[in-house]
């Protein structure tokens, strides 16, 4: 394998086409679990480059494979979904769908993964394994697409033994990447709580069970889980994001609905927190004579890259673009359902630098003026292609 002939030159040649992919996708964003047009578009591009699609029993999402006759596979994953945000950039290829925008860079991820598949398909004779691409619906909306895809069998046939993913990072300059060996992103537990009291006249509290008063105690006590029951050396948080209940000032509310999210960077805490939430809720509701329901909507594991996968990415990037281009990614309490894949098989997600202050590509994810530096497509494609080749050699 020759770096220049097999990876760098082809990646440069593919770049204009990948920019076109990315811009088309950026103009036509779709929300989580509704990525019908995006699914069609990705399939068409793969078909056009003679990459074999695999059947997938879901409404949206794409899986395709190079060298399907091999028993072992390396996978690369991209997300498909955009966000309910009205775009406020002045790009000529702005979103055509009002109120929907690719404001997390998933459009660029798709272009990179598509380009990588096209590049690797040309090298398929050199590859001692299968290569699978997974375009996953709904990364942004619980319960997320990853667990559904895994249940649908995307890690089998051929068996995936290593998986890579990328995420754009507006804090990292174009031409650089970020990696971290320890926990990078938090576990996510999204939940709904309904407190059932007993309605009544505001003047007769003794004859009612005040849902609002109980909810207030619950919210207050949930914060004590973090401050009093979790080791302060391991970060955790519980946020109640919405609260609904009550109809008038002189009526005691019979029902209050809370929605929230609990996050932590420790696997042990991730196990413990749902039990503590339930115990606290149960105790308070019992004490006040209320009933409750507690529903878990999503539960993502902590994102911890496998060291062996990080090592491959680090070495490949160094080989491609020289030393000192790999930064240490800081920890965040944000979540990412890529953690589902690497909970059962080795793999890693790297941060792809897309920061370029000169063109305004320095705004945070999920904002209406979020922008990426498209040059990053070349770096991401080169890295993923080389990582797959190197990893295959070790099989």
Q: Which residues bind Ni ion (CB under 5 A)?
A: 104
Considering the complex, state which of residue 10 and residue 170 has its C-beta at the smaller distance from Ni ion.
Answer: 170
Q: For the CB of residue 166, give the shortest distance to Ni ion in the complex, in Å.
A: 10
The answer to whether 361 touches 355, Cβ cutoff 8 Å, is yes
Considering the complex, state which of residue 104 and residue 110 has its C-beta at the smaller distance from Ni ion.
Answer: 104
Distance CA 96, CA 29 (A): 8
State how far Cα 131 lies from the chain centre. 21
Strand (E) or helix (H) holding 190:
strand 187-196
Q: For the CB of residue 168, give the shortest distance to Ni ion in the complex, in Å.
A: 8
Q: For the CB of residue 196, give the shortest distance to Ni ion in the complex, in Å.
A: 36
Distance CA 234, CA 165 (A): 26
Q: For the CB of residue 300, give the shortest distance to Ni ion in the complex, in Å.
A: 13
Sign of CA dihedral 69, 71, 74, 77: positive
Tokens of 328: 């240490």
Q: For the CB of residue 336, give the shortest distance to Ni ion in the complex, in Å.
A: 7
Q: For the CB of residue 104, give the shortest distance to Ni ion in the complex, in Å.
A: 4
Tokens of 243: 């609260």
Considering the complex, state which of residue 7 and residue 104 has its C-beta at the smaller distance from Ni ion.
Answer: 104
Distance CA 52, CA 382 (A): 22
Count H helices and E strands in the chain, helices first.
9, 14
Count other Cβ atoms within 10 Å, centred on residue 4.
Answer: 9
Residue nearest to Ni ion (CB): 104
Considering the complex, state which of residue 8 and residue 83 has its C-beta at the smaller distance from Ni ion.
Answer: 83
Establish whether the linkage from the previous residue to 158 is cis, with ω within 30° of 0.
yes
Considering the complex, state which of residue 292 and residue 370 has its C-beta at the smaller distance from Ni ion.
Answer: 370
Q: For the CB of residue 292, give the shortest distance to Ni ion in the complex, in Å.
A: 33
Residue position matching structure tokens 């990459």: 51
The answer to whether 264 touches 273, Cβ cutoff 8 Å, is yes
Roughly how many angstroms between the first and final C-alpha of the chain, as a whole number?
16
| φ and ψ at residue 194, rounded to 5 degrees | -120, 125
Distance CA 292, CA 281 (A): 8
Considering the complex, state which of residue 104 and residue 215 has its C-beta at the smaller distance from Ni ion.
Answer: 104
The 3-state DSSP class for residue 94 equals coil
Considering the complex, state which of residue 121 and residue 187 has its C-beta at the smaller distance from Ni ion.
Answer: 187
The 3-state DSSP class for residue 298 equals strand
Considering the complex, state which of residue 67 and residue 116 has its C-beta at the smaller distance from Ni ion.
Answer: 116
According to DSSP, residue 111 is labeled H
Considering the complex, state which of residue 104 and residue 326 has its C-beta at the smaller distance from Ni ion.
Answer: 104
Q: For the CB of residue 167, give the shortest distance to Ni ion in the complex, in Å.
A: 6
């Amino acid at each position: 394998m020759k770096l220049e002939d097999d990876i760098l030159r082809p990646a440069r040649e593919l770049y204009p086409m990948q920019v076109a992919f990315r811009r088309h996708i950026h103009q036509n964003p779709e929300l989580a679990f509704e990525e019908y047009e995006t699914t069609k578009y990705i399939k068409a591009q793969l078909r056009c480059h003679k990459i074999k699609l695999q059947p997938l029993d879901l409404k949206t999402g794409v899986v395709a494979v190079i060298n399907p006759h091999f028993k072992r596979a390396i996978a690369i994953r991209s997300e498909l979904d955009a966000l309910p945000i009205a775009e406020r950039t002045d790009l000529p290829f702005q979103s055509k769908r009002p109120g929907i925008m690719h404001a997390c860079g998933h459009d660029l991820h798709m272009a990179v993964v598509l380009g990588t598949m096209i590049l690797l398909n040309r090298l398929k004779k050199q590859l001692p394994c299968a290569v699978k691409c997974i375009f996953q619906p709904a990364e942004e909306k619980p319960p997320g697409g990853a667990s559904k895809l895994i249940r649908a069998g995307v890690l089998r046939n051929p068996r995936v033994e290593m998986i890579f993913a990328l995420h754009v990072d507006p804090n990292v300059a174009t031409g650089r990447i970020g990696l971290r060996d320890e926990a990078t992103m938090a576990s996510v537990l999204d939940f709904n709580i309904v407190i059932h009291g007993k309605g009544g006249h505001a003047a007769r509290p003794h004859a009612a069970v005040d849902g609002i008063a109980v909810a207030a105690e619950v919210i207050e006590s949930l914060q004590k889980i973090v401050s009093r029951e979790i080791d302060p050396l391991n970060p955790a948080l519980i946020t109640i994001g919405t609260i609904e209940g009550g109809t008038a000032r002189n009526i005691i509310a019979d029902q209050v609905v809370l929605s929230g999210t609990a996050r932590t960077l420790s696997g042990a805490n991730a196990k413990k927190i749902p039990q503590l939430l339930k115990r606290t809720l149960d105790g308070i509701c019992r004490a006040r004579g209320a009933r409750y329901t507690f529903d878990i909507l999503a539960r993502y594991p902590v994102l911890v890259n496998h060291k062996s996968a990080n090592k491959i990415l680090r070495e490949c990037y160094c080989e491609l673009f020289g030393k000192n281009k790999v930064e240490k990614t800081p920890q965040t309490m944000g979540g990412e359902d890529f953690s589902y894949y690497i909970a059962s098989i080795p793999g890693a997600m790297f941060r792809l630098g897309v920061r370029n202050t000169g063109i305004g590509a320095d705004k945070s994810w999920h904002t209406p003026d979020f922008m990426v530096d498209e040059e990053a497509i070349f770096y991401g494609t080169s890295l993923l292609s080389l990582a797959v080749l190197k990893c295959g050699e070790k099989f």
